[in-house]
Every structure is written in C-alpha cells, then in structure tokens.
Homo-oligomer: A and B are copies of this chain.
C-alpha cells in the first residue's frame, strides 16, 4: 500500500461536529488543524465523492438562488468508521522541516547563510506564538463544554513546541556565532 489515506478521517471528523461543504472543511483545516495538519482541495473533493459513494456521508444540494453548494452530513456508518479509526493506534507522526535540512547541509554555504535561515524560522515562530497563546487562553476559560478540552490539548501542544523552538533558536545562533 502507499501512504495510508487519512483525508477520509479528517473529513469524517469535521462532519461529526456538524454538516458542512468541502470549502468549509478546507477553511477549518487551515484554521484549527493548521499547526499539525494540512489538506488541499485536490484531496478534499475527490474524497467527499468516495465517502458519499461508500455511504459514509450524505450529500444535500443547497442552492439558494442558482449557485451549486453541496452540504455533506455524516451517516451512522460514517460515525462508526471514525470511531474505529480513533481507537486504533497511531500509524505515523511526521516532521518535515526544510529549515533543518538546510541547516544540516549548511557547511556548503557557511555560517551567515545558515544564520539567516534560523532568523527567518525564529521570526515566523515569534509571529505565530501569540495567536496560539490567545487560542489557549480562550479555550481554557470554557469549563462546562467537554469538547473544548480536546481542542485545548492540540493548542497547548502548539504553544509548548513553539516555546521549545524559540529556546533552540537562541542555542543555535550561539553555536554559529564566532
């Protein structure tokens, strides 16, 4: 088999919250999963069609006016498929950092070029961290609703790793300084 297909599960996951369109699924991937997952239209729309054919989701055409808009809902079968996947052990956690690749082979261009990659990385993390911290603060306030605890877990992961990244940036700059 090739890479195990996981777009199925991402879609079923979001549809387990509420019915929505493929476009809305893409938006949620880019906002809520952004720090640890990604997904493109090129896999979302074909997967939605497969799931519909397999009876795991249902499609409803909602055209106020004339525009095509396909709202998908999860079926009971889809929900049990999602639960099954959630209960199975994790197959793969993957990091793919081009920055680290450029640092590993950095000797070829020397210290200054390599330092620039570290600074760019640091700038990016420093920009993103406040948004993640805001997200954690907002989710931590909500005490009554159970589902927020699960989102809080992933947001906290982002905060803790980003803090680790910034600590590393300091060490890394030191190592390359003359």
A interface residue numbers (CB < 8 A to B): 6, 9-10, 13, 16, 32-33, 35-38, 79, 82-83, 86-87, 89-109, 113-114, 117, 120-121, 146-147, 149-154, 156-157, 160-161, 163-165, 167-168, 171-172, 175-176
Contacts and interface: CB of A to CB of B under 8 A. Distances in A.
Nearest to A111: B149
B164 A176 contact: no
A104 B13 contact: yes
15 contacts: A13-B101, A13-B108, A33-B101, A37-B97, A87-B113, A90-B99, A92-B96, A94-B95, A100-B153, A104-B150, A104-B153, A114-B153, A152-B175, A160-B167, A161-B161
